Amino acid sequence: MPLTAEIITIGSELLTGLTVNTNAAFIGERLTAVGAVVRAVVTVDDAEADIRNAVETALSRADRVVCTGGLGPTNDDVTKKAVAACFGRELVLLPEAMDRIEAAFRAMGRDMAPANRLQALIPEGAEPVPNRVGQAPGFILSRDGRELIVLPGVPSEMRAMMDETVIPRLRAAAGTASAALALRTAGLPESDVGRKLEDFPSLFPDVRVGFYPDSTGVTVRLMTFGSSAEACESRIRQAGESAADRLGRAVYGTGGDSLESVIGRLLAESGRTLAVAESCTGGLISHRITNVAGSSAYFIRGVVAYHNSVKTGLLGVPESVLQTAGAVSAECAAAMAEGVRTAAGTDFGLSATGIAGPGGGTEEKPVGLVFIGCADASGTVTEKHRFLRERLWNKERSATAALDLLRRRLRGFA
Task: Give the span between the Cα atoms of 166 and 130, in whole angstroms.
Answer: 10
Contact segment (CB under 8 A) with a copy of itself among 136-144, 163-171, 237-245, 308-316 equals 308-316
Residue 314 interacts with a copy of itself (CB under 8 A)?
yes
Please report, as residue ranges, which positions from 125 to 164 form the binding site for a copy of itself (by CB under 8 A): 133-134, 154, 156
Binding track, positions 267-306, relative to a copy of itself; x by CB under 8 A: ---------x-x--xxxxxxx-xxx-xxxx--xxxxxxxx
CA atoms within 13 A on the CB side of 202: 3
Is 135 or 165 the residue whose CB approaches a copy of itself more closely? 135
Binding track, positions 177-196, relative to a copy of itself; x by CB under 8 A: -------------xxxxxx-
If DSSP codes are grouped into helix, strand and coil, which group holds residue 137?
coil
Task: Give the span between the Cα atoms of 320 and 393, in whole angstroms.
Answer: 31
Q: Is 47 left (phi over 0), alpha (psi -120 to 50) or beta?
A: beta
| Total residues at interface with a copy of itself (CB under 8 A) | 105
Q: Output the CA torsion 46→48→49→54 (10° steps).
A: 60
**Whole-number minimum distance, CB 288 to a copy of itself, in Å?**
8
Residue 376 interacts with a copy of itself (CB under 8 A)?
no
**Whole-number minimum distance, CB 352 to a copy of itself, in Å?**
12
**Whole-number minimum distance, CB 324 to a copy of itself, in Å?**
21
Is residue 339 within 8 Å of residue 316, measured between CB atoms?
yes
Please report, as residue ranges, which positions from 75 to 104 form the binding site for a copy of itself (by CB under 8 A): 75-76, 104
Residue 206 interacts with a copy of itself (CB under 8 A)?
no
Residue 348 interacts with a copy of itself (CB under 8 A)?
no
Q: Looking at 4, 81, 159, 211, which residue binds a copy of itself (CB under 8 A)?
A: 211
Task: Give the span between the Cα atoms of 218 and 211, in whole angstroms.
Answer: 7
If DSSP codes are grouped into helix, strand and coil, which group holds residue 296?
helix
**Whole-number minimum distance, CB 280 to a copy of itself, in Å?**
8
User: Which strands sit side by side in the sheet containing 348-354, from one edge to the other?
Assistant: 274-278, 348-354, 369-376, 379-386
Task: Give the span between the Cα atoms of 403 and 267, in whole angstroms.
Answer: 13
Contact segment (CB under 8 A) with a copy of itself among 63-71, 88-96, 138-146, 386-394 equals 386-394
Q: Output the CA torsion 342→348→349→350 (10° steps).
A: 180
Please report, as residue ranges, which positions from 212 to 271 form the binding site for a copy of itself (by CB under 8 A): 212-213, 221, 223
